[in-house]
Chains A and B, each alone.
Chain A
């Protein structure tokens, strides 16, 4: 199981780094949201390890994480709807839009 734990830590760190990279390097709203979701998945994976030692604490952290992720997704979905209503395309990159204007 020790190898599994190490792999879990490495995988969760990898997911967080990948997500941060996607969120930082992309200039589309959708891709930023995808990056944030990937970071959240990495955080949840790291909570799985904590569960074996402190189940109640990890459950509380998971609740907070899920609440944050769902709130973030709902806000972003609201933004995307607003952008589409205003005539923007959510997949249009900011650079492209500014060039159009």
Chain B
């Protein structure tokens, strides 16, 4: 566990240091994603509340959105934007799905704030929650593909 935390810290520091070296703004913004993911990983290893980890992953989503906006502002990246949206939908959906399936309901929660999985399983049950997440993920994918097809581009 110590080695894993150290490795994640090195990843976070290295990806942030890469921002100083990289000249391309979009690539520099992309360097923030592994750093944020590494910090979420450290939070996971230190038994942080699952709710907080979900919030951190939502923050990763915000950073990804920021990268898309940054890429929109730079002319040379415009042709790749639509493809990037599909990739974002896939990655975000996969992360949320993994989170829903892998986070144990009891071990990660702290007394004052119940974990997201606990709250959801108390209402509808763990599997129903996972199925809903899967459906949302598939709907996002379908929407992204429909949007691409409307514009006459191949996904």
Number of chain B residues whose Cβ lies closer than 8 Å to a Cβ of chain A: 42
| B42 lies within 8 A of A59 (CB) | no
Which of chain B's residues 1-59 have a Cβ closer than 8 Å to chain A? 2, 5-6, 9, 12-13, 16-17, 19-20, 25, 28-29, 32, 35-36, 39, 42-43, 46, 48-49, 51-52, 55-56, 58-59
Contact flags A68-81 to B (C-beta < 8 A → 1, else 0): 01100100110011
**In the complex, how many angstroms separate the beta carbon of B98 from the nearest chain A beta carbon?**
21
Q: A1-B2, A38-B32 are in contact. Are A73 and B66 (CB under 8 A)?
A: yes
For A56, what are the chain B residues with a Cβ–Cβ distance below 8 Å? 110, 112-113
For A1, what are the chain B residues with a Cβ–Cβ distance below 8 Å? 2
Q: Taking CB as reference atom, which chain A residue is nearest B75?
A: A89
| A48 lies within 8 A of B59 (CB) | no
| B32 lies within 8 A of A89 (CB) | no
| B48 lies within 8 A of A48 (CB) | yes
**Which residue of A31, A34, A81 contacts B69 across the interface (Cβ within 8 Å)?**
A81
Contact flags B58-81 to A (C-beta < 8 A → 1, else 0): 110011011001101111000000
| B73 lies within 8 A of A62 (CB) | no
**A99 interface hit (Cβ, 8 Å):** no
| B25 lies within 8 A of A63 (CB) | no
Q: A56-B110, A73-B65 are in contact. List 10 more A-B contacts (CB 8 A).
A: A18-B17, A22-B20, A41-B12, A41-B39, A48-B39, A51-B46, A59-B49, A70-B59, A76-B66, A84-B73
A interface residues, Cβ below 8 angstroms from B: 1, 3-4, 7-8, 11, 14-15, 18-19, 21-22, 28, 30-31, 33-35, 37-38, 41, 44-45, 48, 51-52, 55-56, 59, 62-63, 66, 69-70, 73, 76-77, 80-81, 83-84, 89-91
